[in-house]
A and B are shown apart, each in its own frame.
Chain A
Amino acid sequence: MSEEIRKDVFFTMIPTTEKERPYGMLDFFLVQISFGIAAWFFLVGGFTGLWLPAKYAVPTVIFGNVFPLFLISLLAIPFARYGVDQYIGHRAVFGHKFSDIWVIIYIVSSFGWIAYISLLMGQSAWKIASLFQLERYLGILATEEGYWIWAIIGLVINYFIALGGPTLIKWFLRVVVISLLTLLSYLMYSVIVIHGLDTIYAATPAEPFEDLRFGLASALEINVGLGFSWAFWYGQWTRLARSERAAYHGCQWGWGIIAAIAGVFSAFTALLTGSFDPSVWVYKAGGIIALIGLIMLILSNFDAVCLIYPMSVTLASRLPRIKWPLIVLIPTLGGIILDLLPGVYEKYYMYLAYISLLTGIYGAIVTGNYLITRGRWNLRWLYYKNSPYIYFKGFNLESVIATIVGTVFYFILLEPISWTSPSGLFPYMSAGLPSYFLTLATYIGLAKSKIFNKFYKIDTT
């Protein structure tokens, strides 16, 4: 095997064999923790603390993240088993053409994550400039108006890290882990030692909902959104894990209960400060603590590479003619475009509701397929376009119908833009979890009944 092919394994559609995989159990665990404890957890915890008192916020953050992740945890296995990128592997579930539609949904919806992490970096960077009173030298960059410019600078740095592939990423993630754990330790110290848990539990949220039940469901929904959101990110990483067990446990605990601790302490801090924004929390501490905290937040911006790299691998699998540097530019530019739109940062909760809808449905269908097939796919059929995985004109009808049923049901429960419930059921059951279960039941029911098999070109049973 040539050196070129050896490198291409990490950047193209070639399935990875055991010897090529860089991540053992510990490495994989650390990668997923650093991917997990990031801007998304600080922000989701922040909104939970804005809406709910501590006694409800804690179980909501833990359950809302850990349980949905468990419901989709089987996704880790088949991509580790076959060494394929998730968006090649899921052709077995959706069909070759419907899987392409899901790729577009995945790429476009993920621009948001890149934007949020870079915007948090931008919010931290201008505050540092402001701490040193650099307005005279840096102009707009030392004021709140300049945050988006810093965000774009951060994304450009991430672009160059992503160019280097998984080995370079592993080194940068070590810096990220140290920064994030330091920041988290400070939040824990501040909450437990300086303020005390009694103060936190007595604090009232800054922006509670009029109806507590609606507030509980809303906070659960955004946490469930983050919990399900990992459904789009399994295979790109687990194809690099040295065992199926490492793949399963690394994702399950790194993205779940360990990362959720960041969300809990973020909720506490939001209760104390009345803001969802982590850069405001550390800025308010003032002095050297504010400076160190903001630097840590900026360093954690390198986590964006955890998104840009896997998105680029997927794109490279689909568009093999395009060279890697140009491919990496696509997710980077997507994030930059969102950075330029005003009001995006404050609408994080709305974004999470859409993510809950999309990834909950996606995760339910792939999980349903795993439960039926036990993750037994045909590697050749995943690649060959004229294979049984073409189903009906490229669409697996069971997954199409399950997607439609899940989507309609979600919008009946919650309309995310107005944040209202057309059916009035949202306060009693939230939206993401029931939509997941309905989609799962629909998919399994249709697949087991085999009613669509007569439409398929080649019977797959």
Chain B
Amino acid sequence: MITSADKKVEMECAQIIGFGKRFDQRLENICEEVRKRISKFEEIQQKGNTTASWVERIRRIDYMIAIGINIIVLLWYLLSIIT
């Protein structure tokens, strides 16, 4: 018998994967895993981490290095073309 909880899962999977009633075990497993991981990620966020990441976050210094090198490249190009 299909319970209302089963129906809810099926509807969610249809949203995630778009397979509607064509429900096979492999897709069901994928869908279930996606749902589990979304919930897990939301748990991390709820602990107050508004920019939660699965991995170590990038730092400001990383941007600064890239900006510095690219300003040098830009100036070098402009000087090369002008002169």
Does B66 contact A70, Cβ atoms closer than 8 Å?
yes
| Contact indicator A379/B27 (Cβ below 8 Å) | no
Which residue of A has the minimal Cβ distance to B32? A5
Contact (A4, B29) CB under 8 Å given A77-B58, A244-B57? yes
Pick from B18, B26, B58: contact of A248, CB below 8 A.
B58
The residues of A that contact B58 with a CB separation of less than 8 Å are: 77, 243-245, 247-248
Give Cα A384 to B42, complex, Å.
14
Q: Is the CB of A383 within 8 A of B54?
A: no
Contact: B81 with A375, CB < 8 Å? no
Task: Take A70-B70, A376-B51 as given contacts and tell me if A320 and B19 are in contact as well, using a CB distance cutoff of 8 Å.
Answer: yes
User: How far, in whole Å, are A342 and B16 apart by their CA atoms in the complex?
Assistant: 42
Taken residue by residue from 37 to 71, chain A's Cβ proximity to chain B (1 for < 8 Å, 0 otherwise) reads as: 00000000000000000011011101100110010
Contact of B77 among A63, A248, A375 (CB under 8 A): A63
Helix, strand, loop or mixed for chain B's interface? helix
For B, the interface residue count at a CB cutoff of 8 angstroms equals 38
Q: What CA separation (Å) do A379 and B53 show in the bound complex?
A: 11
A67 to B73 Cα, complex, angstroms: 7
Q: Per a CB cutoff under 8 Å, which of B29, B51, B53, B69 touches A5? A: B29
Interface residues on A, range: 35 or more
- Chain B residue with Cβ nearest A319: B18
- Chain A binding surface, main DSSP class: helix
Chain A residues, Cβ within 8 Å of B77: 59-60, 62-63, 67
Interface 9-residue window, one of A78-86, A178-186, A283-291, A300-308: A78-86
- Decide if B54 touches A245 in the complex (CB within 8 Å): no
Q: Which 9 A-B pairs have the closest CB atoms?
A: A63-B77, A244-B58, A59-B80, A243-B56, A81-B53, A70-B70, A59-B77, A383-B16, A385-B15
Pairs across A and B, CB under 8 Å, 30 listed: A4-B29, A12-B30, A13-B30, A15-B37, A15-B38, A17-B37, A18-B54, A56-B81, A59-B80, A62-B76, A63-B76, A66-B69, A66-B73, A70-B70, A77-B58, A80-B55, A82-B41, A216-B81, A243-B55, A245-B58, A247-B58, A248-B62, A320-B27, A376-B50, A379-B38, A379-B41, A380-B38, A383-B15, A384-B15, A385-B18
